Amino acid sequence: MNIAIVGATGNVGRKIIEVLYKKKISVDNLFFVASSNSAGSVLKFGDKEIKVENLENFDFSKVNISFFSAGKTISEKYVPLAAKHSVVIDNSSFFRMDPDVPLIVPQVNKDHLKDMKKNIIANPNCSTAQLVIVLKSLNDAFKIKRVVISTYQSTSGAGKKSMDELIDQTKLVLDKKNFEVKNFTKQIAFNAIPHIDSFSDDGYTKEELKMINETNKILGSKIDITATCVRIPVLVSHAESVNIEFENDFTLKKIKELLTTAEGCKVVDENSDGGYITPVDAEGKNETFISRIRKDNSKKNALNMWIVSDNLLRGAALNAVEIAEAYIKR
């Protein structure tokens, strides 16, 4: 199996390298690919050093699977070229809503791989991935009617430069020094920004619309969904406050049983100080954590919960590698 990682030097690309190595996936030849700015640099795969190749002249006929984590513009241009020779697993948003491209979270809908028509498989938005892995078993059991989501998304979702800016701003604020905002629309240090991606005409941001549309595509559902996406001053892991309204009645005991046995999920829900998961707790872990599970006393058949996951793993690299595993085993 020959594998290429496009965008290997970025946050997600480096995590894909890490996940491939930890999972001990059999790789005959591994190619690291990036822009001309990074070409020639060296990255490690275990103890092996591999030179980064230039995307502009990379030969995709050498590989069986190509991971793309270099952004929407790069995917638009290069994924169709790579897909002529290899199966492409794309982390950008460009192909997600294409009806001929399956949008996959293996624990939820790996059967959709049979619908692949373009040699392209899309990886969902990071906040969507951790949401659907929780909703799947609940929807099967009680039929979800409506979902209301508020996200608390880390700066790593916006890339390494944004993470660096959070660190720099934090130092400058503490030192009471002035600074220029670069990668955000407002100060991110000690703040919360209710704006991720660009605005659409109806007032929603594209990030919010991604969550709405991608969730229904993955689940094959027509659930009423609304979302508000917020960037917070955290480096890694996204959190979500989620309200779910069901068609049918439920018990908290059954909800917890379903989530405890759901693949990829872990319930940490104690009604005590610290009996829940925070973004810091989830960093570096593969599971999607569910806490603060309780009935919504203001509405019939409704439930509240708190969902946290490492966005660079479940929301990106881990899910991408698991897609590759599911594709190979199909």
- For residues 292 and 151, membership in a common domain is answered with yes
- For residues 117 and 179, membership in a common domain is answered with no
For residue 119, is pLDDT > 90?
Answer: yes
For residue 313, is pLDDT > 90?
Answer: yes
For residue 189, is pLDDT > 90?
Answer: yes
Task: Work out the pLDDT band at 330, boundaries 50, 70, 90.
Answer: confident
Write the single-letter amino acid at 108. Answer: V
∠ at Cα 155 (218, 194), nearest 5°?
75
For residue 184, is pLDDT > 90?
Answer: yes
Task: Work out the pLDDT band at 223, boundaries 50, 70, 90.
Answer: very high
The rounded distance, in Å, linking the Cα atoms of 12 and 9 is 8
- For residues 287 and 155, membership in a common domain is answered with yes
Q: Which domain holds residue 80?
A: 2-124+316-329
Task: Work out the pLDDT band at 170, boundaries 50, 70, 90.
Answer: very high
The CATH number for 282's domain is 3.30.360.10
Contact 142, 248 (CB under 8 A): yes
- Tell me the mean pLDDT in the region 135-164: 97
Residue 313 DSSP label: I
- Tell me the mean pLDDT in the region 145-164: 97
Whose CA is closest to 33, among 13, 17, 53, 49?
53
Task: Work out the pLDDT band at 190, boundaries 50, 70, 90.
Answer: very high
- For residues 71 and 134, membership in a common domain is answered with no
**pLDDT 10s digits, 238-293:** 999 999 999 999 999 999 999 999 999 999 999 999 999 999 999 999 999 999 99
- For residues 148 and 62, membership in a common domain is answered with no
- For residues 116 and 177, membership in a common domain is answered with no
Pick the catalytic residue: 126, 195, 229, 265? 126
Other residues' Cβ atoms within 10 Å of the Cβ of residue 210: 23
- For residues 57 and 168, membership in a common domain is answered with no
- Tell me the mean pLDDT in the region 144-165: 97
Q: Is 112 a catalytic residue?
A: no
Contact 215, 134 (CB under 8 A): no
- For residues 46 and 83, membership in a common domain is answered with yes
- For residues 83 and 226, membership in a common domain is answered with no
- Tell me the mean pLDDT in the region 212-233: 98
- For residues 111 and 252, membership in a common domain is answered with no
- Tell me the mean pLDDT in the region 41-63: 95
Pick the catalytic residue: 112, 229, 238, 265? 238
- For residues 135 and 269, membership in a common domain is answered with yes
Whose CA is closest to 103, among 125, 131, 77?
125
Tally of structural domains, the chain: 2
The CATH number for 63's domain is 3.40.50.720
Q: Residue 115's pLDDT is what?
A: 85
- For residues 24 and 94, membership in a common domain is answered with yes
Q: Residue 129's pLDDT is what?
A: 97
- Please state, for a pLDDT cut of 90, what percent of the chain lies above it: 98
Which residues pair with residue 226 across a beta bridge? Answer: 148
Task: Work out the pLDDT band at 4, boundaries 50, 70, 90.
Answer: very high
